[in-house]
Amino acid sequence: MEAAPPIVPAGTVIGRLQGPLTALDAFRDTALIAPACHDTASAIAAIGADLSNSAYICSGTWSLVGTVVDTPITSRAAMNARFTNQAAAAEGFCCHTNVNGMWLLKQCMEGWSGAGRTWTIEDLIAQVGACAAIPGVIDVDAEPLLLAGDMPARINRQLKFRGLAIISDKPGNEAVFARVIFESLARRYADALRSLEFLVNRKFTRIHILGGGSRNRLLTLLTHGTTGLQIDSGEVESSTIGNFAVQLAAAEGESGRLSAEAVRQWASRLCEKSQRPQAKTATPPTA
């Protein structure tokens, strides 16, 4: 334990950089500042808005659905709903649950590619929008879907388990699999958010979607449709932006507790610099 550095809050100025790098102009007199050391907490720090009435979805290979609370939620109901608590970058705690994500589609695409059916995610999403119908939705958190390999067959087994028609895994049906995945994720997000509203005893009015999933316009629309909430699409590199926001807020602030408001202000400024247009909500396409 003597080899491990002491645990310090995010925003703590550790000291000045030492060693050979200090000979370079770019690193001369550089302060070392502890960020939120978990990428999720850093990503949430990139949201330049108060989360009192908002939730977040960190969407990528996996999804984290949650909000920021003043004190950890440790009730039996929270445990049964699989919610956990993680210190936020500044004040409060990130209360969220883990949900499956683009892992499902990536595993499908790997299998198809091995069979000579190569797709880009962008092309596949474009095809999904025109998909006329799907057999239904599945439980994206079913244990077999957390494993690698043969994902189309795993999805079909989940459809069969629910008494639904299976999808023939043949060229031309890739968009149908993808549509099942997106519809199922959106439904699961809505269920998770309803559970979270009960746990924190407040209603949400909007969702901030962060990470790679923020680029998936169709999943955003479907999530809007299942939740009825305003969607704000954040940055793909939210963890990096939140990391910078914490360090900049700490560098200009007084020593001591990091201000959540200062982090939000820096996050807003950094996101404006990225000049990435925000996604607008709309009525989702019908299945």
Residues taking part in catalysis: 39
Amino acid found at 197: E
Which is it for strands 31-33 and 206-210: parallel, antiparallel or unpaired? unpaired
Strand partners, 56: 66, 208
Question: What's the chain's Rg over C-alpha atoms?
Answer: 21
Structure-token pair, residue 287: 């299945």
